Chains A and B, each alone.
Chain A
Amino acid sequence: MDEKSSEMRILLGGPQGTGLETASQILAAAYAIGGYRVYSMREYFSNIKGRHSYIGLRVNPEKQPLAPIEGPHIVAGIDAETIFTHFTEAIQDTIIIYDTRVFKTKLRSIASMEKYFRDRVRETLEKSNYDTTVEGALRYASEELGAKSIGLDYQAILNDFSQEIGISKYQAQRYLNTILVATIANITGLSLDELKRGFKRRFGSKVEIIEDNMKLSAIVYKFTADLKDKIKIPTPHHSPDEYLVVNGNEVVAMGKIVGGLRFQSYYPITPASDESFMLETHENLENYVDKSGGIVVLQTEDEIAAISAAIGSALTGARSATATSGPGFDLMVEALGWAGINEVPVVITYYQRGGPSTGLPTRGGQQDLFSALFSSHGEFPRIVISSGDHEEAFYDAITAINWAEKYQTPVIHILDKFLANTTITLELPHLEKIAIERGDLLQAPPPNYKRFKKNGSPIAPRVVLGAENAVIWYAGDEHDEEGHIIEDPINRLEMHELRMKKLEIAHQEIPQEERAVLYGSGEDFLLVGWGSTKGVALEAIELLKREGYKGAYLHLRVFEPFPKEYVAKILSRYKPEKIIAVESNYESMAAKVITMNTGFIFKKHILKWTGRPIYVKELSLATLRILEGLSSREVLSYGA
């Protein structure tokens, strides 16, 4: 075990389509039921079956982990590729679990491995005079890094199992992932009964599947008897009575349902679609919620239709949203401007992935901040919220619809792939704290109602399309008070100004320290970031304390209206060379947005654009290098 932490870090790898995600869900559930805090990230190719994917699990008895960290205690591979891909990540005492039948497998025989990666692995092994085989890689891990390899004959285990339950060897292959699950469970000190809770959780009422998995697990426990409790995780003492086990997509869907969303239109895209699937799964609310009906979830023909339908729906008064990622958002921006000029409360949930173009479609990044802030021609007010973790994502999903209605303008809620596909244990939200704010929404129109009659106030009372006694016009053209086309210069002067002024009102009304949040008070350095940088920054600051550096983290939550006075105030407390922007992009976009709003020019940057998340130790080391004056710009690249 890592002497610095009492937690357990597990890396599970194998070809896509072999049930790795299921394996991680079973383990996560088993640990969560045991009261542990779980963090489970997932990396995968744009591929359905065959390419290497892996899961990084952190199991902590006391604190919720919110970022990946280097140095797995267990690496468990379904196949040879997992060993070749991850053996260099081993640290002192890492246990590597592999299939003895791939022991002699040669690196060059792994067809699914990308050439560049394979070449780098070969170089690593050859440079230190190891064979380019699984055996060589395992020897490298043991001799160079201090890892221990434990080989299991997966097929012998499956043979015993298939005979016991009377299925063919071929049918038994789909249980490969259970071998890893049970081995890890045994090593980390879960009893069979405790493991069963994970299977029950995952498979629910499918009793046969649970029983079969338990039979296999018992066989595995026998095979791995000498590994039992090898690295038992300390028992948790202060766990709550219950957790949600959710990923970013799911938690946003939950927020939307609580927040009263009643219409979502979407076009399939990674990593956003799972949110819409979850909404559709819960579309029928009438049995649960008094006075409620359901949520209409519409899969459209493209993203243009997705946002257009959401806008149309929003006009009728239903809380409406769409969810997408970069390429889909690109298609939405013309309609975004329509929603802007027509003051339509619509929400776009924007999961960033690696761009531009198709880019790294299943990997992460924070490259779309400018896109969210500046896309679409002309000027119009928009609100841009960014979530840094699952808890923020839940509440932000509600805030987004509230602000959309309150300020009658589109709201873009930015998340990223790292959050979307990371599952954590989360304490239940406090629903009584949540407000549903619909803004100046009238049930019935006053006499001579005009949708855009503002009487000097930027926010006009809103009556929905279809309301009795109200006739309303909307147009993409500049409009008069009734919504009709008008090109009159003085009307343009006033209408445009009134629209733009809504952002000033939002800026006055929404507390700035909620739009940028300062964590910690260390005076030695300040990390500045947004989105999923939050978790890794906070953990890196903890780690750096042990090196004698006390830091703080400024977390940007709302980019429009930007909390400029507050951010400027926090930045002014630090010497410019102690302020470091940390972002998953090349340009340091958030730093530039800060410069635009405050005039402060960043001198120090830590950046990563490999499509993989920032890890705690690489961030800590990069921060150290900057603080010690060795570097102004650090580029990170950890992770396969």
Chain B
Amino acid sequence: MVLRADYKTDLWVDWCPGCGDFGILAAIQKALSELKPKPWQVAIVSGIGCSGKTPHFIYSNGIHTLHGRSIPFATGIKLSNPDLMVIIDGGDGDLLGIGAGHFVALGRRNLDITVIIHDNQVYGLTKGQASPTLQAGIKTKALPEPNIQDAINPIALALTSGYTFVARAFAMDIDHLEEVIKRAIKHKGATVIDVLQPCVTYNDIYTTQWYRKRIYHLEEEKGWNPIVERPEERYEKLGNALSKAWEWGERIPVGVFYEDRTKDTITDRIAQRIPSYYNKPPSKQAIERYGKPLLDDAKFREIFASYLVKVEK
């Protein structure tokens, strides 16, 4: 088959001109171009909405799932084939509204998946309703009245849910986003990148210009070190990250908030119980021999001995 160095498909990308999704798509493609996985070794999983189309534009396996459900679909994929590089692209409404329960669950599992949140504070494809990341009191273009629900803080939620790599980036700063994506992919465990992005059609408040004036890079902050190298540093670093997570307004931090290199993943825990798990995950096991089950009568008796009763006449 043909490999494509740029990981681009031939489809016309049908987002609005100027959409932040273009930046995210480009950053993912660039990251892949540098990491060079084979396209069949990657699975890009998405939910519903503008961002949901992302997998179709990337030349690698793509699974465009249901609204809010990208995480559980990806979880099944990764658990049954842990060799795949699994990346989730979802909107803020998708991942933090309808899919919030799954978002928390992925953190608890610390499964080695990268979650990219397209965070533009609105539901674009349904014409501009407020998303869970829109602050209360704000009235974006399409809203009939200002938002009366408070916003979720994706960084804080990810940190408290157990994600071991939590970062924020800006969609229009493609080079930085690409670097963060590469780090996230390389990290072993559940990772979240909250990507701030404009919605040029429905969000007239949080525009590219608005962000450009406020964004600063954590990496450039003196003394900032979010990396947990030893388990005992975990809670101190989490605390630091949480404080930064609430910084919003005149100064908005981007970069890596937290990176815990010490925590095992759910697949490690599975492998403790099923030692052959990484070599023979569910997708890579033989299950039949010449069309017959691998279990024969003797094996069946052995496995289910506790259900077997020998008649004593």
Q: List A residues at the B interface (Cβ < 8 Å).
A: 29, 32-35, 197, 201, 204, 239-246, 250, 254, 257-260, 262-263, 265, 282-286, 288-296, 298, 300-302, 304-306, 308-320, 334-335, 338, 398, 425, 428-432, 434-438, 445, 447, 449, 464-477, 483-485
Check B61–A260 contact: CB distance below 8 A.
no
Most chain B beta-carbon neighbours within 10 Å: one of A283, A469, A473: A473
Q: Which of A242, A435, A476 contacts B64 (CB 8 A)?
A: A476
Check A260–B72 contact: CB distance below 8 A.
no
Q: Which of B53, B280, B308 contacts A485 (CB 8 A)?
A: B53
Check B311–A35 contact: CB distance below 8 A.
yes
Check A265–B295 contact: CB distance below 8 A.
no
Check A466–B84 contact: CB distance below 8 A.
yes
Check A315–B63 contact: CB distance below 8 A.
yes
Check A436–B73 contact: CB distance below 8 A.
no
Check B76–A310 contact: CB distance below 8 A.
yes
Q: Which residue of B lies closest to A30 (CB)?
A: B309
In the complex, A258 Cα to B301 Cα: how many Å? 12
Q: Flag the segment in B40-48, B136-144, B171-179, B201-209 that touches A.
A: B40-48
Interface string of B265-307 (1 = CB under 8 A from A): 0000010011111011111111110011111110111111011
Closest chain A CB from B313 CB (angstroms) = 6
Residues in chain B near residue A300, CB distance under 8 A:
72, 75, 105
Closest chain B CB from A462 CB (angstroms) = 13
* CB proximity to A under 8 Å, residues B44-65: 45, 48, 53, 55-56, 59-65
Residues in chain A near residue B61, CB distance under 8 A:
465-466, 471-473
Residues in chain B near residue A317, CB distance under 8 A:
80-81, 283
Is there a chain A Cβ closer than 8 Å to B104's Cβ? yes
Most chain A beta-carbon neighbours within 10 Å: one of B43, B102, B308, B309: B309
Check B1–A312 contact: CB distance below 8 A.
no
Check A243–B309 contact: CB distance below 8 A.
yes
Check B304–A434 contact: CB distance below 8 A.
no
Q: Which residue of B lies closest to A338 (CB)?
A: B66
Is there a chain A Cβ closer than 8 Å to B83's Cβ? yes
Q: Which of B62, B66, B311 contacts A476 (CB 8 A)?
A: B66
Check B279–A464 contact: CB distance below 8 A.
no
A-B contact pairs, 20 of them (CB 8 A): A35-B313, A204-B306, A240-B311, A254-B300, A286-B280, A288-B299, A289-B294, A293-B274, A294-B273, A304-B68, A304-B72, A305-B69, A308-B66, A308-B76, A318-B282, A432-B292, A432-B296, A474-B64, A474-B65, A475-B64
Known interface pairs A293-B277, A428-B300; A33-B309 also in contact (CB < 8 Å): yes
In the complex, A430 Cα to B293 Cα: how many Å? 11
Most chain B beta-carbon neighbours within 10 Å: one of A283, A300, A308: A308
Known interface pairs A290-B294, A428-B300; A305-B64 also in contact (CB < 8 Å): no
Residues in chain A near residue B285, CB distance under 8 A:
262, 291-293, 318
Secondary structure at chain B's binding surface: helix, strand, loop or mixed? mixed
Residues in chain B near residue A485, CB distance under 8 A:
53, 56, 64
Residues in chain B near residue A428, CB distance under 8 A:
297, 300-301, 308
Residues in chain A near residue B287, CB distance under 8 A:
259-260, 262, 292, 319, 436
Check B311–A308 contact: CB distance below 8 A.
no
Known interface pairs A35-B311, A313-B282; A471-B77 also in contact (CB < 8 Å): no
Known interface pairs A244-B304, A294-B276; A316-B40 also in contact (CB < 8 Å): no
Q: Which residue of A lies closest to B109 (CB)?
A: A298
Q: Which of A260, A288, A316, A473 contacts B55 (CB 8 A)?
A: A473
Residues in chain B near residue A243, CB distance under 8 A:
308-309, 311
Check A262–B73 contact: CB distance below 8 A.
no
Is there a chain A Cβ closer than 8 Å to B18's Cβ? no
Known interface pairs A284-B273, A289-B299, A316-B81; A242-B311 also in contact (CB < 8 Å): yes
Residues in chain B near residue A32, CB distance under 8 A:
309, 311
Closest chain A CB from B27 CB (angstroms) = 20
Check B291–A293 contact: CB distance below 8 A.
no
Residues in chain B near residue A293, CB distance under 8 A:
274, 276-277, 279-282, 284-285
Q: Which of B39, B76, B274, B304 contacts A263 (CB 8 A)?
A: B76
Residues in chain A near residue B311, CB distance under 8 A:
32-35, 239-243
Q: List B residues at the A interface (Cβ < 8 Å).
A: 1, 9, 11, 38-41, 43, 45, 48, 53, 55-56, 59-66, 68-69, 71-81, 83-84, 101-102, 104-105, 270, 273-277, 279-288, 291-297, 299-304, 306-313
Known interface pairs A33-B312, A257-B303, A305-B69; A483-B48 also in contact (CB < 8 Å): no
New contact pairs (17) apart from A308-B76, A309-B75, CB-CB < 8 Å: A243-B309, A254-B304, A259-B287, A284-B274, A286-B280, A288-B303, A293-B274, A301-B102, A308-B66, A312-B78, A313-B283, A318-B282, A338-B66, A466-B41, A470-B1, A471-B61, A483-B62
Q: Which of B11, B104, B275 contacts A484 (CB 8 A)?
A: B11
Q: Which residue of A lies closest to B62 (CB)?
A: A473
Closest chain A CB from B50 CB (angstroms) = 12
Residues in chain A near residue B45, CB distance under 8 A:
312
Closest chain A CB from B21 CB (angstroms) = 15
In the complex, A250 Cα to B302 Cα: how many Å? 15
Check A294–B277 contact: CB distance below 8 A.
yes
Check B39–A29 contact: CB distance below 8 A.
no
Check B73–A447 contact: CB distance below 8 A.
no
In the complex, A285 Cα to B43 Cα: how many Å? 28
Closest chain B CB from A286 CB (angstroms) = 5
Closest chain A CB from B80 CB (angstroms) = 4
Q: Which 8 A-B pairs have the closest CB atoms?
A: A312-B76, A260-B287, A293-B280, A294-B274, A318-B282, A309-B76, A308-B72, A262-B282
Q: Which of B283, B306, B310 contacts A318 (CB 8 A)?
A: B283
Check B297–A431 contact: CB distance below 8 A.
yes
In the complex, A475 Cα to B63 Cα: how many Å? 6
Known interface pairs A438-B288, A470-B40; A338-B65 also in contact (CB < 8 Å): yes
Closest chain A CB from B10 CB (angstroms) = 10
Known interface pairs A286-B275, A484-B11; A197-B72 also in contact (CB < 8 Å): no
Check A298–B75 contact: CB distance below 8 A.
yes
Check A434–B293 contact: CB distance below 8 A.
yes
